[in-house]
Amino acid sequence: MSDTTHHRICPLCEACCGLEIKVRDRRVISIRGHKDDVLSRGYICPKAIALKDLHEDPDRLRSPRIRRNGVHVEATWEEAFAEIERRLPPLLAGHGRNAVALAVGNPAAHKIGLLTYFPKLARALGTRNVFSASTLDQMPKQLASGLMFGHWLSVALPDISRTDLLLVIGANPLASNGSMWTVPDFRGKAKALQARGGRLIVIDPRRTETAAIADAHHFIRPGGDVFMLAAMVHTLFAEGLVSLGRVASWVNGVRDVEAAVSPFTPESVASRCGVPAPTIRALARQLATTPRAAVYARIGTCTQEYGTLASWLVDVLNTLTGHLDVEGGMLFAKSAAFAANTAGKPGVGKGVGTGRHHARVSGAPEVFGELPITCLAEEIETPGQGQVRALITVGTNPVLSSPNGPRLSSALETLDLMISLDIYLNETTRHADVILPAPSPLEDLHYDVAFPQLSWRNHARYSAPVLPPPQDQPPEWQTLLKLAAIVQGKGAQCDANALDDAQFEDDTQRMFGPEADAVMAATRGLRGPQRLLDAALRAGPNGAGFGSEKDGLSLRKVMEASAEGGIDLGELQPRIPEMLRTPSGKVELAPPLLLQDLQRAAADVGRAPPSLVIIGRRDVRTNNSWMHNLPTLAKGPMRCTVLVHPEDAARHGVSDGALATLRNGAGQLRAQVRLSLDMMPGVVSLPHGWGHDLPGTQLSVAAQRPGANINTLLDDQSRDPLSGNAVLSGVAVSMEPA
Ligand SMILES: Nc1nc2c(c(=O)[nH]1)N[C@H]1C(S)=C(S)[C@@H](COP(=O)(O)OP(=O)(O)OC[C@H]3O[C@@H](n4cnc5c(=O)[nH]c(N)nc54)[C@H](O)[C@@H]3O)O[C@H]1N2
Ligand SMILES: Nc1nc2c(c(=O)[nH]1)N[C@H]1C(S)=C(S)[C@@H](COP(=O)(O)OP(=O)(O)OC[C@H]3O[C@@H](n4cnc5c(=O)[nH]c(N)nc54)[C@H](O)[C@@H]3O)O[C@H]1N2
Ligand code: SF4
Ligand SMILES: [Mo]
């Protein structure tokens, strides 16, 4: 057979690079960057190559597992669904819908089948107990953006190709390849910025890979961002540097912000955040006096006690310095499909709110339809009406990725039923009674649902499956529909395609009204995510519509462009006021929820910092908890090491290469020490996603070098109260030689 060439969006991180994959005799023979890709222009990182390892990984599950007497045994799909049908409906009948929890993880963001069909399962279940990795990650950013701009995914993005000053706070795109910002080849774009005379400034408790290429780097005490940012805003007002520019008539609340930040003088916050007052002032001035500038902040600013406040203040800075919604500043993407900020009436909307219901045990408010994932263990453990008795996990490994993993692990073992849709028998799914495998990404079609809303450039790209799935392997959307059918009492035997047809027709009638017949006609012959995608593209801002085919996007058009690298929809453009979905039709600079929370921060300025705190770290050859089983990535130096400044090493008696014990009230672990002058003194760093030494898993490569789980040191009760996001950064630890 001759070689075939395929184009596939890399599903492994938010950069969403376009790949060119060559196949011979159903085997991948090469993976490289697709140089014509409209978004990534040939850029890739080492993880892309590992898609071959992932596809061929003998540990990757290719058939369901049922746990019998504590052992996971291979089962057919029929047996697996029969087991679920035998056990799930009685639990629902006996204990109610909230007794079944749902948890979904990071890979779902990279799978159109999961993103479009998980909500259908959630709706069928009707449970309030929905949890996701979002509350270990970006929920603060989504809440702040939602309150300001009216929708959870209306996130302002740096216009990196035209800006002259990029301030990066708590992000390391050289390792992570960007987050809440799809920006493949950040390094190349940063170099271009510098080549045209622009500056890159990084604020981070570690002199990161990104800091190393920056024009300036400032240490910040972990968790100190809210204080530094509030003092920068304070400086803008104090020095008359506020100038809103083109959005001036679309912003509410400037005076309220001025009053709210009045206690935060640079001098009053300097010791709390570790950034000297003159530096804070200089940063604010630079931002205000550079015509094209942008502030970008990411996970380091989210995974802390004041995550929502910090995320909000970043965009307050962007707005007050006239950099919101202008070229070279911060812009909003215009996604060709699935974006709430292109749907409905332009310029006004319902806005966002929180707390439609609350977690039963902690009382934490619902945010964006979810409860904090750090509440999951206590919801399982605590008896009473509404106690969680069953759990369905979809692509998530919270035993490693969530604070106090050991507690969660014990709690999972007490469930009456656990079902996992996953590709591995790992630290979390080992607790499942039934594991339903997902296909390999190379066997799945793809279109990015969320990331075009966060991309540095507007585009539309489709990936067909590179390889055919094994005969009996259902796509994930069908597995989710089957679970929904079981929940709804329609039985495991029902035909997923027929269910999908019926649902699509219902939804179309409801959403399109008089146009429904045209929608049905235009999408005839399609089903599943492809049909949803076709409808979304046609209805989207660049769409062909549903009548006689006019110029514009449809699934067919985007598919046809795949070999040419997709469809380029151009640079980001100013979108205010059209993209706003706030009830006022304005940017809400001073949401009352946030002003109120700022008082909590004001009362906390004087707190003395612990003498040693721990933060995380990402490495380009790993991804969260689940790529440690891929030989291409696992080889080379051990990456789960604790970075320690030499002064701290001396103070605690630990030395380079030796093992140290880290401990606090939550737990303890052992990890190898690496001395590093790049660490801020008083701060040590250990990556997350390790700890593959738990029994009952099937991860033969990862188990050889298991590493230690940082989340054994983190407290599952420690959250940003507004967003429910876990505190993962700046946690006090002690350290001693092991
Ligand atoms: N190679 C690789 N890429 C990944 C991932 C991965 O595991 N590996 N994970 C993906 C995921 S799920 C996500 S969410 C993204 C995250 O993408 P990024 O946000 O870029 O994540 P990190 O590389 O962890 O960078 C966070 C930075 O914040 C710093 N930091 C820690 N605490 C604080 C603080 O209190 N204040 C400030 N200002 N900085 C702080 C850390 O030192 C670190 O350099 O990466 C994605 N990409
Ligand atoms: N201490 C600390 N903890 C952290 C972080 C941190 O910086 N510090 N980062 C947090 C962040 S940003 C995130 S996003 C979370 C991630 O938290 P999770 O989403 O819980 O964790 P992952 O490690 O991404 O686990 C992904 C799971 O999906 C499975 N999987 C992989 N591919 C597929 C697929 O195609 N289909 C299905 N169905 N399953 C698949 C894997 O086997 C694995 O079980 O971790 C968080 N945890
Ligand atoms: S940066 Fe690497 S892992 Fe991320 S999408 Fe690109 S190739 Fe894939
Ligand atoms: Mo994440």
DSSP string, 686-721: --SS-----TT---HHHHHS----GGGSS-TT-B-T
Q: What is the pLDDT of residue 547?
A: 84
* 25 CA from centroid of ligand 2 (Å): 32
| Model pTM above 0.95 | yes
As a whole number of Å, the CA-based R_g of the chain is 25
Is 137 a pocket residue for ligand 2 (Cβ < 6 Å)?
Answer: yes
Q: Where are the beta strands (DSSP E) in 318-398?
A: 330-331, 354-358, 365-367, 390-394
Nearest CA to ligand 1 atom 39: 170
DSSP secondary structure letter of residue 153 = T
Instruction: Give the number of the ligand closest to the Cα of residue 173.
Output: 1
Q: What is the pLDDT of residue 549?
A: 64
Count of C-beta atoms within a 10 Å radius of residue 76: 12
Range 87-113 average pLDDT: 98
Q: What is the pLDDT of residue 2?
A: 84
**Structure tokens of 620?**
């380009």
Range 46-61 average pLDDT: 98
Q: What is the pLDDT of residue 146?
A: 98
Q: pLDDT (tens digit, 9 = 90+) per residue, 295-343?
A: 999 999 999 999 999 999 999 999 999 999 999 999 999 999 999 999 9
What 3-state DSSP class applies to 628?
A: coil
Average pLDDT, the chain: 97
* 15 CA from centroid of ligand 3 (Å): 6
Q: Residue 648 pLDDT more than 80?
A: yes
Q: What is the pLDDT of residue 607?
A: 94
Count of C-beta atoms within a 10 Å radius of residue 18: 28
Q: What is the pLDDT of residue 1?
A: 66
CA 391, CA 412: separation in Å to the nearest integer? 8
Is 109 a pocket residue for ligand 2 (Cβ < 6 Å)?
Answer: no
Instruction: Give the number of the ligand closest to the Cα of residue 622.
Output: 1
Question: Going by C-beta distance under 8 Å and a sequence separation of 6 or more, which residues neighbour residue 574?
Answer: 246, 325, 326, 327, 331
Which CATH superfamily, name and number, covers 139-337+575-603?
Dimethylsulfoxide Reductase, domain 2 (3.40.228.10)
For ligand 3, what atom is nearest to the CA of residue 12?
Answer: 3
Q: Which pLDDT band, with edges at 50, 70 and 90, does 551 fall under?
A: confident
CA distances from 595 to 96, 270, 319, 421 (A): 38, 21, 16, 41
Phi first, then psi: give them for residue 212, nearest 5 degrees: -65, -30
% of the chain beyond a pLDDT of 90: 99
DSSP secondary structure letter of residue 582 = S
* 528 CA from centroid of ligand 2 (Å): 25
Q: Contact at 8 Å (CB) between 419 and 393?
A: yes
Q: Contact at 8 Å (CB) between 140 and 180?
A: no
Instruction: Give the number of the ligand closest to the Cα of residue 136.
Output: 2
Q: Contact at 8 Å (CB) between 350 and 583?
A: yes
What 3-state DSSP class applies to 611?
A: coil
Is 474 a pocket residue for ligand 2 (Cβ < 6 Å)?
Answer: no
How many Cα atoms are found within 13 Å in the side-chain-facing hemisphere of 229? Answer: 30
Q: pLDDT (tens digit, 9 = 90+) per residue, 345-361?
A: 999 999 999 999 999 99
Q: Which of 9, 208, 397 to mutate to test the pocket of ligand 2 (most atoms within 8 A of CB)?
A: 397
* 69 CA from centroid of ligand 4 (Å): 35
CA 294, CA 314: separation in Å to the nearest integer? 9
Is 438 a pocket residue for ligand 2 (Cβ < 6 Å)?
Answer: yes
Range 572-585 average pLDDT: 98
Q: pLDDT (tens digit, 9 = 90+) per residue, 269-289?
A: 999 999 999 999 999 999 999
Q: What is the pLDDT of residue 605?
A: 97
Of 171, 579, 630, 572, nearest to 348 (Cα)?
579
CATH class assigned to 613-737: mainly beta
Find the angle CA(308)-CA(596)-CA(149) to the nearest 5 degrees: 50
**Sign of CA pseudo-dihedral 156, 161, 163, 169:** positive
Of 531, 736, 556, 547, nearest to 652 (Cα)?
736
CA 707, CA 619: separation in Å to the nearest integer? 14
* 457 CA from centroid of ligand 4 (Å): 21
CA 82, CA 315: separation in Å to the nearest integer? 51
Looking at the DSSP bridge assignments, the partners of residue 102 are: 130, 392
Of 452, 364, 434, nearest to 393 (Cα)?
434
Q: Contact at 8 Å (CB) between 137 and 725?
A: yes
For ligand 3, what atom is nearest to the CA of residue 15?
Answer: 5
Of 683, 671, 614, nearest to 647 (Cα)?
683
Q: What is the pLDDT of residue 28?
A: 98
For ligand 2, what atom is nearest to the CA of residue 728?
Answer: 1
Q: Residue 197 pLDDT more than 80?
A: yes
Instruction: Give the number of the ligand closest to the Cα of residue 179.
Output: 1
Location of structure tokens 């085997």: 27
Q: Residue 542 pLDDT more than 80?
A: yes
Question: Going by C-beta distance under 8 Å and a sequence separation of 6 or more, which residues neighbour residue 484?
Answer: 120, 121, 123, 124, 125, 499
For ligand 4, an ion, list residues with CB under 5 A. Answer: 137
Nearest CA to ligand 3 atom 2: 45
Question: Going by C-beta distance under 8 Å and a sequence separation of 6 or more, which residues neighbour residue 590?
Answer: 252, 253, 254, 256, 257, 260
* 155 CA from centroid of ligand 3 (Å): 21
| Ligand 3, pocket residues at CB < 6 Å | 10, 12-13, 15-17, 44-45, 47-48, 177, 184
Q: Residue 548 pLDDT more than 80?
A: no
In total, the chain counts a number of residues equal to 738
Q: Which of 132, 169, 201, 299 to mutate to test the pocket of ligand 1 (most atoms within 8 A of CB)?
A: 299
Range(s) within the chain of domains with CATH label 3.40.228.10: 139-337+575-603
Is 401 a pocket residue for ligand 2 (Cβ < 6 Å)?
Answer: yes
